[in-house]
Amino acid sequence: MEQGIIIKNISNQYDCLVNNVIYTCIPRGRFRHDKITPLVGDKVLVNTHNKIIESILERKNEIIFDS
């Protein structure tokens, strides 16, 4: 697994920048079960072979928009 950062999110596909290469990944199903949503800017561990976000590293801050 490699450490990267989420740079774009469209639907349930996340573009992750890992070692200057962009991978389009999907998050593990357990995130939905645990009600965790990956956000742009999150540092993540990515399985670059299967293109899956394995875990989200601790966030320093988060902006929540309430409409």
Q: What pLDDT was estimated at residue 61?
A: 80
Q: What is the pLDDT of residues 2-47, one digit of tens each?
A: 999 999 999 999 999 999 999 999 999 899 899 888 999 999 999 9
Distance CA 8, CA 17 (A): 9
Distance CA 6, CA 9 (A): 8
Q: What is the pTM of this model?
A: 0.87
